[in-house]
Amino acid sequence: MSNTFSVAIQRCTTYQADAVQAAVEQAVNLLGGMRAFVKPGGLVLIKPNLLFARPPEAAVTTHPAVVEAVARLALDCGGRVVIGDSPPLASAKRVAEMAGIADVARRWNLTVVDLNRPAPGHRRPPARTASAASPSLDRTVLEADVVINVPKLKAHQQMFLTCGVKNLFGCVKGRRKAYWHFKLRHGPDLFAEMLLALYERIASELTIVDAVIGMEGMGPGSGTPKPIGLILAGGDALAVDRAVTDILPLNWRDHYVIRAARQRGFPAAELESLHFPGLTPAEARVEAFQLPEIAPIGFSLTHLIKGLARSAAQRVKRIRAAEAASR
């Protein structure tokens, strides 16, 4: 694996469709173009941030204009594109409807899927060298030829920021996320280790960040929309996160994922390992960004039990549907 990681940073100050398409395409072209990542006939999972059912202007979810720009590029390469996430409190389809992403799916005849399907016996070789236990992943994530990670840049009151690596947590199947929140409730450093284990396992060859309007303050769901005016793209989610720490007015030591990655010796967590074919972080610098007040990671036992019960109910429903189809 190369120890140099390219992160392309482009200006984009509006969600007007043509402007977003141009910025996304320019950023990806600086990495070699979408054909370097998507092959004809390959299954492409676009993984946006579909946290809650909120409208695009709330800046809680990845903006539909960014998702559409990514989908168009992947389709132009002959990819078989699906859009998927595993929201904590609603179905991906419901969140996508409110977030405007279902309209994108209908325009391009795409499917929005819930990442809640177990994959017994299916073990994809790790994209990197996995070194820690991590949650079970959804079947679509494991079967995809490429996962295009499309996070929203937001403050996060538990993990400081959510961007490339944190967005991969949505690849955990069903509502098992509640279990991992509960299990690792004693500290964000433990949660960061788990996220890095996911990062090692998921072959997310491309991360494209919606930082046109991010979220500051008490994110990821209750903060304030913050104009940032950028699209970022990189072939490594951790490298993208490292670049973000130099764009925003924060110290990498405060970013739990970057700190844990540096302690474990990940080259992508070192600024010296990054190459910027577009703007540099200094040129893209955001001088004012309200950081969150960090709160302990915590999921109540009640929330955990409800989440596991919903997962069990979904599993029973799938079994009954399969039995009915076989009659």
Q: What is the pLDDT of residue 124?
A: 46
> What is the C-alpha to C-alpha distance for residues 260 and 275, in angstroms, rounded to an integer?
21
> What is the C-alpha to C-alpha distance for residues 4 and 229, in angstroms, rounded to an integer?
26
Start-end of H helices in the chain? 17-29, 64-76, 92-99, 101-107, 139-143, 164-167, 176-183, 188-201, 237-247, 256-263, 301-326
CA angle in degrees (0–180, nearest 5) for 26-28-31: 115
> What is the C-alpha to C-alpha distance for residues 277 and 233, in angstroms, rounded to an integer?
11
For residue 156, the surrounding DSSP H or E stretch is strand 152-156
CA distances from 310 to 5, 114, 182, 315 (A): 40, 13, 16, 9
- If you compute the radius of gyration of the chain from its CA atoms, what whole number of angstroms results? 18
Using one digit for the tens of pLDDT, what is the confidence trace for 249-264?
Answer: 989 899 999 999 999 9
Q: What is the pLDDT of residue 57?
A: 98
Encode the chain (327 residues) as per-residue pLDDT tens digits.
458 999 999 999 999 999 999 999 999 999 999 999 999 999 999 999 999 999 999 999 999 999 999 999 999 999 999 999 999 888 999 999 999 999 999 999 999 999 988 765 444 444 444 444 568 889 999 999 999 999 999 999 889 999 999 999 999 876 666 677 677 666 788 899 999 999 999 867 899 999 999 999 999 999 999 999 999 999 999 999 999 999 999 898 999 999 999 999 999 999 999 999 999 999 999 999 999 988 765 555 555 455 556 555 655 665 666 556 665
Phi, psi (rounded to 5 degrees) for 34: -65, -30
> What is the C-alpha to C-alpha distance for residues 78 and 39, in angstroms, rounded to an integer?
7
Average pLDDT score over the chain: 88
Q: What is the pLDDT of residue 24?
A: 98
Name the token pair of 316. 């029973």
> What is the C-alpha to C-alpha distance for residues 148 and 244, in angstroms, rounded to an integer?
18
Q: Quote the DSSP letter at residue 253.
A: G
Q: What is the pLDDT of residue 109?
A: 98
Predicted TM-score of the model (pTM): 0.88
Name the token pair of 221. 């769901």
CA distances from 261 to 27, 57, 188, 241 (A): 25, 33, 13, 11
